[in-house]
Amino acid sequence: MELSQQPLLGFLLNPFGRTPRSLKLVEHGVAIDGSTRNVVTFAEISSPPSIKNGLFVSSITLASDHAGETRLRAGGKARAETFRQAIEEAWRAFNLAELSQEADQINHLLQEIGDLKSPAAYPAACRLHPILSQAQKLDSRLLRKLRAEAIGIEHVEKLAVIRDFVEKPSVLRARAIKTFVDAELARWEEFFDTVEAKPLTPEQRLSIVVDEDATLVLAGAGSGKTSVITAKAAYLLKAGIRTADQVLLLAFAKDAATEMSERVEARCGAPVQARTFHALAYDIIGSVEGSKPALAAHSTDDTAFLALLQQIFKDLVATTSDVAHAIINWFSQFLNEPHNDWDYQSKHDWYSQVEQLDLRTLQGEQVKSFEELQIANWLYQNGVAYEYEPNYPHPLPKNGKRDYTPDFHLIESDVYIEHFGVRRERTRDGQERLTTAPFVDREDYLAGMNWKRQVHSDNRTTLIETYSYERQEGRLLDALTKKLEPYVTLNPRPLATIFDRVIEMGQVDAFTRVLGTFLRQFKSGGYHVEHCLEKADRLKMGPRARAFLSVFDPVRREYEKRLDGRIDFEDMILRAANYVEEGRFKSPFRHILVDEFQDISQSRARLILALKAQHQDARVFAVGDDWQSIYRFAGSDIHIMRGFGRKFGGRFDDENDIHRTVDLGRTFRSVDKIALAARHFVLRNPAQITKTVIPAGESKETAIRVVWTHKHDGMDKLKQVLSSFADLPAPAGKKTSVLLLGRYRHVDPGIRDLQRSFPNMSLSYKTIHASKGLEADHVVLLGADRGRIGFPSEITDDPLLSLVSPEAEPFENAEERRVMYVAMTRARFSLTILASESRPSVFVTELLKNPEYGLPRDIEAATLQNLCGECGGRLLPATSKADRNWYRCEHVRLCGNILPACPTCGRGLPRHRDESDELICPACSTSFPACPSCSDGWLVERKGKYGSFLGCVRYPACTGKARKSHQTAQR
């Protein structure tokens, strides 16, 4: 059918042919001017054609998406109307035909979307993503192109359901989830009331009915995580969501796996076998290879693993020269992470750092800086006999300072070495000058340097000088070598001898733990040494990282050789993951339930992901607590849990990390003063996932306290603490339980003897790591002291481990803080911390200083208010052999500030009050004039050549004095 302009009318109205001269109805649309190359298809027509009647001419208008409006002016109203109706009928028929072709899919989508109003199953992303994808494709292909006028209001209303789902899928899914969860909680109420000995909490119930692609249950200490994971498995079976062979329960320990299997079967009567990761991996390998490879003997024994690494060290030192040099170089120069005193603003902060690291030389003495450590170890390695800080043998005039002790004295050559902590800098006028660390008085220090030079010049002793700027420029030991050439003949000790010395000092034990952790994470994450070197350069980790890798790589290669065809646990997990990824193992599992998820490693996460990827509807249900992630040494990677959604989440509505997190919140263990203090403590690290904590109860008594220990009274103080528990009420029908905790095994105080002394209590000792999952009425934390193997441990959080971790943990003592959290949350009613008064852990100091932790204020007043004026540390009370009381700085070896007790009462320490020029004893209120030269001392009467005067009690360390006034004489 065709409609054309009449020739005369066309000439008059369209003389230049700028508008169409004819429209022709063809099979797929309307051809303009009869051209098959210029057709407006029915799919492009946006509305029925319209007619406008004039006095002599009728115009027909055709609207399309691409060509806009096409208008034909033609005479004859009847002809135009007939043509318009023909186009409209063809257009409607086309749209209805298109709709009819998709009827099955439309009906399917309407059914699926309609079911979301009252879903029979949890509307997980993996279930709805395919539906959404179909709806989006249908909408793009057809629905958005269909015209309402063409298909009629009934069809429009039906299709609006699909289009609404396409426009706001997340809103509809969220609504469906709420509907399902509310109904499911009500439907299974009786099950949740009876599945465990006590009814499940609202949070536990929610975690069980939520069934997202990836669900993370945050289960804090004592929150009932085992109840959740076993009830989840029972619910899946009882609800008919899965069969027993489709559910996989994974645990890290064999005992935990056995307990879960028994509990699930008891709850629902179906045998669901919980397995360890290693048992699962071993089964996968066996099913693919037909037999299971032999396990390395050390796979199940950490002690044997570390012993093997130590033996490899020893053998490499004895047999491989370049490796031996690398190993000895590491222990002599790089064992400790070098800290820069220029980064510290106070002496107290710097001294605390030095003491915590325990800078001990190969010869055995403690030194005061990393640079002194390097010098001392270089001398020892090269057979140069030396004394550290000996008394200078020549008499010197008394100047109120300590006796002069040069840094090093070389015994055979009688040469002295002084290391000066100065660096070079350029001033604005281009001149070079020496600078000191921020907490050091530059003028006094430079004057001291000149004084020492003059002493050696006057007494004709040989002085060799070294400087901090030489280390900064990477040439400290080379410069020392050249300076000593005229005086010293080097006689390097055999490498085996040095290594024996390293072993004797216990340094190999500590380093082996770091290297063992590094090796496990290296293998678990599939790292390469080249990548680690590149990362070390990128992170500006300096020569220490390269020195470490030069030791690690040969040890790793030798370790792989000694496996001799056997596999360790890291090999086992990775091989199984490969088989699953390649499809050589067909997984039956649709629900993967993982206990203690915070301990997951890269290789274990890869295995879970591979199992999940085999089935579009597979789910991961993980229960864990990132606050208790303390197994980095065994390969665990906390970042996997922190990035849970990115790793395991589903896809929906343009998001690729769809997951659900449920916070159990409630603890059934600790009272408020412990539970809330522990929460505050662990969340000081902002990277930890924030969780709610609802304590098990309220306590009116002090729940956390610190008991100070001194050099030889640790056992006496422990017995006093245990005796105090005897006066507390015990649980009905049970002995009072007391758990003693230590950071290391060697802290064990001898539990058998203690148990005999306290037969009415149930006593036990565990390392903090071994105590996970345990609880007691009272917990006593032993050895909360500062030091490399103190608590926090300097070993666990060695920055080198960031080379085999996707992300670094920048917060200081990040993992050790979590270890402390675990220790705190073992206690139901009280936590007692035994700490050295002279070397308290930084954790103890933090607990005492911050009122939010709720420790008794009298302890804080006694231990923190007397600050050393010389360095900012604490002044601690002590008693001399003659039973005289005095106070000394906690940094006794580095600062040495000493003050007598009040001469009036013999107990208190006179201190400044407000801005007064007097010091007042807090014990007896006697006042003393302040020393004009130092901040701690006060003036007392002394006799001199010219009679009585007032001198500082700190003499000879301070020579402050004043004339004796009449008022002072009266006092």
Q: Known binding site: residues?
A: 219-226
CA distance 348 to 353: 9
Binding residues for ATP: 219-226
CA distance 801 to 94: 67
Would you say 211 and 124 are in contact if contact means Cβ atoms under 8 Å apart? yes
| Two tokens, residue 647 | 């790793």
Q: 877: which residues sit within 8 A by CB, 6+ positions away?
A: 885, 886, 887, 901, 909
CA distance 828 to 465: 58
φ, ψ dihedrals at 409, nearest 5° = -125, 120
Q: Is 151 exposed, middle or buried (0-12, 13-18, 19+ CB in 10 A)?
A: middle
| Two tokens, residue 436 | 């000191």
CA distance 404 to 456: 11
Would you say 33 and 20 are in contact if contact means Cβ atoms under 8 Å apart? yes
Long-range contacts of 403-411 (CB under 8 A, 24+ apart): 404/452, 404/455, 406/452, 406/463, 407/372, 407/375, 408/375, 408/376, 408/379, 410/379, 410/384, 410/385, 410/386, 410/484, 410/487, 410/488, 411/385, 411/386, 411/387
562 forms bridges with which residues in the sheet? none
Angle at 438 between CA 436 and CA 440, to 5 degrees: 60
Would you say 929 and 912 are in contact if contact means Cβ atoms under 8 Å apart? no
Greatest alpha-carbon span in the chain: 140
CA distance 948 to 429: 51
Q: 466: which residues sit within 8 A by CB, 6+ positions away?
A: 371, 375, 417, 418, 419, 420, 476, 479, 480, 483
741 forms bridges with which residues in the sheet? 766, 781
CA distance 419 to 892: 21
φ, ψ dihedrals at 871, nearest 5° = -135, -15
For 246, how many CA atoms within 13 A lie in the half-sphere containing its CB? 14
CA distance 481 to 939: 49
Q: What letters, b where the CB count within 10 A reaches 16 and e where it falls short, cover 118-146?
A: ebeebbbbbbbbebbeebbebbeebbeeb
Q: What is the DSSP code (8-state) at residue 369? A: S
CA neighbor of 846 nearest in space, from 792, 918, 777, 917: 792
CA distance 863 to 707: 11
CA distance 125 to 821: 35
